């Protein structure tokens, strides 16, 4: 019986780890699974837990208003120590690139547990973009014993860093597992109340990156305002992150625009329902760069660099940065040119086949790997 401690702190971590947790719990004779929530992003975490039908066994509740990354990291390390003492895990499972991931990997290492990193190997090679996520991933990569690479490029990045090949497993991304499950659950539900009801094309926006705060974020908002004025057949829906550095410019620049709906952050089920109905997606989120192409939605990435380049190679995803001029030009092309839109509006499978959690579970429990490694066409 392996004691497995799964640590998460944000909504994306919960969503991407849920398929793994449910897969592990199908083997109660081989795994004792404890869920530890750090509560890093409390305001959006609880809904995600409800959506994926999970409850934490341990809640560290480290969230503080306007917390500085260094303060957060310190609280995480202090809070994780007694949790690890109590759980005595053989394996600590983390996912992604947050402070929770880096802290839990380090704490697990100090306590003598093996560290399993889900979604390992994503890199931009620029420690400031994304900030601080790039460094959180690299720290976790040094500490991990199991590297679950979602793509071949991620696998190659780990090999280039000297990670032993026998500790890297090509699995696909668990976000595809979660997305397919949630899409089935929401398929027959009515559209969210926030969806335009007048037949307009829905442009879905999410933007909250720390490296964009300040003037780059204002440029981004000005681009959205210009698009709303230029196209009278679109409805921009923007679930606005609660960070004051996001709220202030968004409300100031976009608050009075008729064709822009600024709404509170959505629960996962509602967001998937909205995403499936979107005509175009503009985002700086990592996970949405994976989810939208899986659903065949064209994506403009509001960042200068991405650690998920696989989507760029398909033409479904384009990197546009935060320049007002560039955003307006690229979005206008897709909104005005049916041929360009048709080229980008294609479902692609570069991020997973929906069986990543099965592969991860087999590795963690030492079972036979009867599922072939993920290999997109």
Q: Is the pLDDT of residue 192 over 70?
A: no
Query: Per the domain annotation, does 187 fall within a domain?
Result: no
119 has catalytic annotation? yes
Query: What b/e string do you get for 315-354 counting C-beta neighbours within 10 Å, with b at 16 or more?
Result: ebbbbbbbbbebbbebbeebbeeeeebeebbeebbbbbbb
Q: Are residues 244 and 154 in the same domain?
A: no
25, 42, 210, 333: which is the annotated catalytic residue? 210
47, 133, 284, 291: which is the annotated catalytic residue? 133
22 has catalytic annotation? no
Please name which of 10, 76, 7 lies closest in space to residue 44, comparing C-alpha atoms.
10
41 has catalytic annotation? no
Q: Which domain holds residue 241?
A: 192-344
Q: Are residues 269 and 304 in the same domain?
A: yes
Question: What is the percentage of the chain residues whose pLDDT exceeds 70?
Answer: 97
Q: Which domain CATH number covers 330?
A: 3.40.50.2000
Question: What is the percentage of the chain residues whose pLDDT exceeds 90?
Answer: 80
Q: Is the pLDDT of residue 161 over 90?
A: yes
pLDDT tier at 210 (50, 70, 90 boundaries)? confident
Instruction: Identify whether the C-beta of residue 99 lies closer than 8 Å to the C-beta of residue 136.
Output: yes
Query: Per the domain annotation, does 327 fall within a domain?
Result: yes
State the Cα–Cα distance between residues 19 and 65, nearest whole angstrom: 30
Query: Per the domain annotation, does 6 fall within a domain?
Result: yes
pLDDT tier at 79 (50, 70, 90 boundaries)? very high
Q: Is the pLDDT of residue 62 over 90?
A: no
13, 47, 119, 291: which is the annotated catalytic residue? 119
Q: Are residues 117 and 206 in the same domain?
A: no
Query: Per the domain annotation, does 329 fall within a domain?
Result: yes
Q: Are residues 360 and 339 in the same domain?
A: no
> What is the reported pLDDT for 310?
95
pTM of the model: 0.92
Q: Are residues 35 and 141 in the same domain?
A: yes
97, 330, 353, 358: which is the annotated catalytic residue? 97
208, 209, 218, 359: which is the annotated catalytic residue? 208
Task: Provide CB contacts within 8 A for 93, sequence distance 6+.
Answer: 4, 5, 6, 7, 17, 20, 116, 118, 364
22, 209, 241, 308: which is the annotated catalytic residue? 241
Query: Per the domain annotation, does 258 fall within a domain?
Result: yes
pLDDT tier at 184 (50, 70, 90 boundaries)? confident
Instruction: Identify whether the C-beta of residue 222 lies closer than 8 Å to the C-beta of residue 326.
Output: no
133 has catalytic annotation? yes
Q: Is the pLDDT of residue 9 over 90?
A: yes
Query: Per the domain annotation, does 373 fall within a domain?
Result: no
Q: Is the pLDDT of residue 32 over 60?
A: yes
State the Cα–Cα distance between residues 115 and 137, nearest whole angstrom: 13
């Amino acid at each position: 019986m392996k004691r497995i401690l799964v640590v998460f702190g944000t909504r994306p971590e919960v969503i991407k780890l849920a398929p793994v947790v449910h897969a592990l719990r199908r083997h109660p004779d081989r795994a004792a699974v404890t869920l530890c929530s750090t509560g890093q992003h409390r305001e959006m975490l609880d809904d995600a837990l409800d959506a994926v039908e999970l409850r934490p066994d341990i809640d560290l509740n480290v969230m503080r208003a306007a917390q500085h990354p260094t303060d957060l990291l310190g609280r995480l390390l202090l809070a994780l120590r007694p949790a690890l003492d109590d759980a005595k895990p053989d394996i600590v499972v983390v996912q992604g690139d947050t402070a929770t991931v880096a802290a839990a990997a380090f704490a697990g290492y100090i306590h003598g547990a093996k560290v399993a990193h889900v979604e390992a190997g994503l890199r931009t090679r620029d420690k400031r973009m994304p900030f601080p996520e790039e460094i959180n991933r690299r720290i976790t990569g040094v500490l991990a014993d199991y590297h679950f690479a979602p793509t071949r490029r991620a696998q190659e990045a780990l090999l280039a860093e000297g990670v032993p090949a026998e500790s890297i497993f090509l699995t696909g991304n668990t976000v595809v597992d979660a997305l397919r499950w949630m899409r089935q659950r929401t398929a027959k539900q009515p559209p969210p109340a926030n969806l335009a009801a007048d037949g307009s094309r829905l442009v879905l926006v999410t933007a909250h990156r720390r490296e964009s705060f300040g003037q780059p974020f204002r440029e981004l908002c000005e681009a959205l305002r210009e698009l709303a004025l230029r196209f009278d057949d679109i409805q921009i829906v923007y679930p606005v992150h609660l960070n004051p550095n996001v709220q202030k410019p968004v409300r100031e620049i976009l608050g009075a625009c008729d064709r822009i709906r600024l709404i509170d952050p959505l629960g996962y089920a509602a967001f998937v329902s909205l995403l499936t109905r979107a005509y175009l997606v503009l985002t700086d989120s990592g996970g949405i760069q994976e989810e939208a192409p899986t659903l065949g939605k064209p994506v403009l990435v509001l960042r200068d660099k991405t650690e998920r380049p696989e989507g760029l190679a398909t033409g479904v995803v384009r990197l546009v940065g935060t320049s007002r001029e560039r955003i307006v030009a690229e979005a206008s092309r897709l909104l005005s040119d049916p041929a360009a839109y048709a080229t980008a509006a294609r479902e692609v499978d570069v991020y997973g086949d929906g069986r990543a959690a099965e592969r991860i579970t087999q590795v963690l429990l030492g079972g036979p790997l009867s599922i072939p490694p993920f290999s997109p066409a």
